[in-house]
Chain A
Amino acid sequence: MIEVHELSKVFHDRKRGEIRALDAVSFRCQPGQIFGLLGVNGAGKTTCLRLLATILRPSGGTATVGGHDIVAAPDRVRASVGFLSTATALYDRLTAYEMVQYFGRLHGLDENALRARLEEIFTLLAMNEFRDRRCGQLSTGMKQKVSIARTLVHDPAVMIFDEPTLGLDVLTARTIVGFVRDCRARGKTVIFSTHVMSEVEKLCDAIAIIHGGRIVAEGTLAQLRECTGARDLEDIFVQLVEARP
């Protein structure tokens, strides 16, 4: 479960002054559901997800992830979250196995349990063929699988995906989409940010449209259609975003 209440983030820039990247955002994601965060570039999606993954600290408001407060217990939040984005790269000089093993150890897994877990994940994601190859020598698709394995190694209850398909080819993107669906099937709480309308239509049980650091609308696709009178998600999005000052 993710519960976000009035969450804000302000950045200070010498040239541009104060930048309110996230402005009093509130929403709730349920276990076994995929919550989509839809917005254009710079809308505040990445900032919001980085706050939930406790990579950044909020300037105001609060949020609980997997029952832990992001300000009071950031270490516990990180222990219960799997965070995947195109910005979370791999160590080129480690092998696929070493990479996942490293994060398993950082998550405090017992060596025997970790060995068993690694065998399970590498078989599940069909990664045994390239387990001993260095990450720098892997194809984009293989790298994405290693990243997925890295987020799964500690079996987190909450999965956070920040535009995970950005810049990927169709086949690799499909692997990611399949993985996101699988997380929902396993009862995990999933939050997924994107600016690709088709992905939201295919995947998300609930959608929040974010613009200028604020949530401009929230609900299921059916609720958003009813609220705007539009059928196509792109039309719904444009209508809602343009209605904001």
Chain B
Amino acid sequence: MKRSALGIVYRKELTDLLRDRRTLFSMIVVPVLVMPLLMAGLGVAGAKIARQSMREIFPVALLGEAGSPQTAAALHALDNLRFVPAEKADLPRLIADKKIRAAVELSPGFDAALARGDPASVQIDNYAGEIKSQSATGTLRDFFRRLRETTVKERLTGRNLPQQLINPFDVREENVAPPEKVSGNLVGMIVPYLVMMMCLMGSIYPAIDLTAGEKERGTMETLLCSPVARTSLVLGKCLMVLTVSLSTVVLSLTSTGLSMLLVRTLTADLGAGNSLPLTINPVSLLVVFVVLLPVALFISSAMLSIGLLARSVKEANSYLQPLMVVMIIPAVAAVIPGIELNGRLALVPFVSVSLVSKEILSGTYHWQYIAIIFASTCVYAAVALRVAVALFKRESVLFRT
């Protein structure tokens, strides 16, 4: 039985690459172990910090305590604050040095002023951007909001006035998006970026190895001695790069999904913030995968072409690493708030797929856009593949030294 030339080349490249530790590392180890470990590590570390800050008692300075024993006593009763003595002039330094996390300054005669209905004020000093300082400030802010509400209520009652005087109407918000759409919006921001990045990461090494690598090792000339048409050789190589690229995507999505589940389990005790329904509709994911296919082919062909142009592996790396960054930037489009899919953006490579993937994952199927994007990326992929084939037929490229 005879085999097709393309199949022969593909099978050989597969055997060859699967025996290469560097390919296995970029195709399997990075997406399956490194990325999820990184994600799980960050998630667990973040949850640990959040849990610690929930339990922690923050040192806070209280000024003006003498003239307001009632408010001071209520503040001292707060569970997660410990009041320490301090001078006003030292407050900025103490907060900056993290000796104290915040400071409260009550205006002179605060309690009496409240009782009389005279103006009174509270100043809270804190350190913007510092998480523990913000936690202590949050507790203080809640305390004084409640105090203000109680005071207002007492004053209205004292004057026989209805509560509606200061609260003429209520505003209620209701989320009409079903939980899977909320989840889809969140997942839609992460998945397209992750998919594009893994697609690029997966293709970069095999693309270099099968082109500049072959030139450098001297096997390119051996291969050119065979009677197989050069188009078949390029297609076989391109199919191989595409396989590695898509395998990396599938492996990384699977392992990321599993590690997200793990993070949720490990941080379940943190409560409301983690109860987001991070689920993905398998049909949406399948549609995203189909839309991604021509993009992956475009990336594989482009990487292969650049690898062919390079004289050596080192040169190919120096071309492809910056190109990877350039390709990732449009993929981030889905994360930028306010950028929405339109007729023009539907024709921009990477941006279009990133945006439409976000829409698909949130359950919105703009079929006309999906068709335009799929068709346009197919055209881009075909052009890129044609360029790769043309380059493979050029002596000046193959024998560039």
Contact = CB atoms under 8 A, between A and B. Distances in A.
A45 interface: no
A76 B227 contact: yes
B1 A57 contact: no
A94 B222 contact: no
A5 interface: no
Interface in B31-83: none
Give the bracket for the number of chain A residues in contact with chain B: 20 to 34
Interface in B336-368: none
Interface string A41-84: 00000000000010111000000000000000001101101010
B221 A55 contact: yes
Given A93-B20, A105-B8, A106-B5, A75 B224 contact: no
A102 B225 contact: no
Interface string B200-236: 0000000000000000011101101111110000000
A218 interface: no
Interface in B226-267: 226-229
Contact of B227 (A88, A106, A111): A106
Interface string A192-236: 000000000000000000000000000000000000000000000
Nearest to B8: A105
A88 B224 CA distance: 9
A93 B19 CA distance: 6
Interface string A132-148: 00100000000000000
Contact of A93 (B16, B228, B396): B16
B2 A108 contact: yes
Given A85-B221, A90-B219, A94-B12, A108 B1 contact: no
B225 A83 contact: yes
A126 interface: no
Given A56-B395, A93-B19, A88 B226 contact: no
B222 A90 contact: yes
26 contacts: A55-B221, A55-B225, A56-B395, A57-B395, A75-B228, A75-B229, A76-B227, A78-B225, A79-B227, A81-B225, A89-B217, A89-B219, A91-B16, A92-B217, A93-B16, A93-B20, A98-B15, A102-B8, A103-B226, A105-B8, A106-B228, A107-B226, A108-B2, A110-B2, A111-B2, A134-B19
Interface of B: 1-3, 5, 8-9, 12, 15-16, 19-20, 217-219, 221-222, 224-229, 395-396, 399
Interface of A: 12, 53, 55-57, 75-76, 78-79, 81, 83, 85, 87-94, 98, 102-103, 105-108, 110-111, 134, 150
